[in-house]
C-alpha cells in the first residue's frame, strides 16, 4: 500500500494505492478517503470488494509501415537522429524540474479526480534529476523541447523492446506542436533501434484525431484503474469521461510495468 495525495471535486483527499483488494480494511483503518487499484484480467477481487472501474484507454502504433506516411517529416526518412531533426529537443536537466512540474499541473487542471504530484515526486520519478547524455538508450528517460529558453513540452519514455513505452507527456497551452514533435522524435528513435511498437496510456491526441500518424486508441483491458470510496457512508463516485479522472502511468506503475 502506498499513500498518494489527491483532489476530488476541489477537496484534498488521501488516496491509498493498493496492490490487492485485501488491503481495503487496513486502508480504511488508516483514514484514507479513497482506495485505488489496478485490475488485471481475472483479478475479480477488486470488483467483488465494491471497486468501480474508471474510464481507461490506451494508444498504440507501429513504427514501421508498408509505405511511407505522407505527414512524416523528411528528416525521419533521411535517418537523422531526433535531436538533429527537432530544434530544441534535448535530454531533461535538473534545472528543468520546475517547468516540467508546472506543465504537468496545468495538464491536470479540470479533472474532477486527480493524483497530485509535487516537485519531490518528480525528483523520485526522474531518479534525482540525473540527466543522460542524450535521448534514452535502454531505460526510462525524459526529453524536453526548449524554445527561446522556455520549456514547451516534455515526454517520459521507457525502452522495453519490443515496445517503446510512452509513459507521459505534457505541453504548455498553445504549444501543441511540441506534442507532435515529441512523437516524431520517439518514432524516429524507436525505428532506428528496430523497436516495432510505441504504446502508452495517453499519447498526443493528434495521433487519432488528425491523424498525425496511423494509431489505434482502444479501451484498456489490463491495468484498469478501479476506485472505492472509504468513508463510513461514502457518496458514489461516477465518471463518464477519462479526462475527468485520468490516472497517469508515472503515478501508479514502477518502470517496466505495462
In a domain, 8, yes or no: yes
Q: Where residue 80 sits, what CATH number does that domain have?
A: 3.40.630
In a domain, 62, yes or no: yes
**Same domain membership, residue 50 and residue 73:** no
Nearest to 257 by CA among 227, 218, 223, 225: 223
Write down the pLDDT at residue 133: 44
**Same domain membership, residue 238 and residue 194:** no
Write down the pLDDT at residue 129: 46
Q: Where are the beta strands (DSSP E) in the chain?
A: 2-8, 11-17, 34-39, 52-53, 57-62, 89-91, 113-115, 141-147, 150-160, 163-171, 197-200, 216-219, 224-229
**Same domain membership, residue 137 and residue 17:** no
Write down the pLDDT at residue 15: 97
In a domain, 100, yes or no: no
Residue 90: how many CB atoms within 10 A of its CB?
16
Which tens digits make up the pLDDT trace of 91-128?
A: 999 999 999 999 999 999 999 999 999 989 998 888 75
Q: For residue 234, what are the domain limits? A: 1-56+222-258
Count the domains in the chain. 2
In a domain, 125, yes or no: no
Given a contact cutoff of 8 angstroms between Cβ atoms, the answer to whether 242 and 56 are in contact is yes
**Same domain membership, residue 135 and residue 26:** no
What's the pTM value of the predicted model, to 2 decimals?
0.92
Regions of the chain with pLDDT less than 70: 128-140, 234, 256-258
**Same domain membership, residue 191 and residue 152:** yes
In a domain, 116, yes or no: no
Write down the pLDDT at residue 258: 59
Sheet holding 2-8, edge to edge: 52-53, 224-229, 34-39, 11-17, 2-8, 113-115
**Same domain membership, residue 166 and residue 66:** yes
In a domain, 193, yes or no: yes
**Same domain membership, residue 84 and residue 182:** yes
Given a contact cutoff of 8 angstroms between Cβ atoms, the answer to whether 242 and 87 are in contact is no
The set of residues, in sequence order, having a beta carbon less than 8 Å from that of 213 and lying 6+ positions away, is 61, 69, 71, 72, 183, 187, 207
- Residue 36 buriedness (CB in 10 A; 0-12 / 13-18 / 19+): buried
Q: How many helices (H) and strands (E) does the chain have?
A: 9, 13
In a domain, 113, yes or no: no
Identify the sign of the CA torsion 196, 201, 202, 208: positive
In a domain, 143, yes or no: yes
Amino acid at each position: 500500500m502506498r499513500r498518494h495525495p489527491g483532489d476530488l471535486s476541489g477537496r484534498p483527499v488521501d488516496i491509498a494505492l493498493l496492490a490487492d483488494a485485501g488491503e481495503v480494511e487496513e486502508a480504511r483503518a488508516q483514514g484514507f478517503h479513497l482506495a485505488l487499484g489496478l485490475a488485471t484480467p481475472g483479478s475479480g477481487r477488486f470488483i467483488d470488494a465494491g471497486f468501480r472501474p474508471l474510464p481507461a484507454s490506451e494508444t498504440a502504433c507501429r513504427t514501421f509501415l508498408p509505405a511511407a506516411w505522407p505527414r512524416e517529416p523528411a528528416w525521419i526518412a533521411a535517418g537523422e537522429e531526433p535531436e538533429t531533426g527537432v530544434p530544441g529537443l534535448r535530454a531533461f536537466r535538473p534545472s528543468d524540474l520546475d517547468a516540467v512540474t508546472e506543465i504537468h499541473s496545468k495538464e491536470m487542471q479540470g479533472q474532477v479526480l486527480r493524483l497530485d504530484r509535487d516537485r519531490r515526486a518528480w525528483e523520485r520519478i526522474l531518479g534525482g534529476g540525473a540527466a543522460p547524455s542524450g535521448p534514452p538508450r535502454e531505460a526510462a528517460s525524459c526529453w524536453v523541447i526548449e524554445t527561446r529558453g522556455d520549456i514547451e513540452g516534455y515526454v517520459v519514455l521507457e525502452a522495453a523492446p519490443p515496445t517503446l513505452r510512452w509513459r507521459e507527456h505534457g505541453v504548455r497551452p498553445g504549444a501543441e506542436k511540441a506534442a507532435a514533435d515529441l512523437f516524431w522524435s520517439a518514432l524516429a528513435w524507436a525505428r532506428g533501434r528496430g523497436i516495432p511498437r510505441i504504446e502508452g496510456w495517453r499519447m498526443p491526441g493528434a495521433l487519432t484525431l488528425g491523424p498525425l500518424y496511423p494509431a489505434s486508441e482502444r479501451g484498456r483491458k489490463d491495468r484498469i484503474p478501479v476506485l472505492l470510496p472509504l468513508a463510513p457512508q461514502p457518496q458514489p463516485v461516477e465518471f463518464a469521461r477519462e479526462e475527468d479522472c485520468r490516472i497517469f502511468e508515472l503515478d501508479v506503475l514502477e518502470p517496466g510495468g505495462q
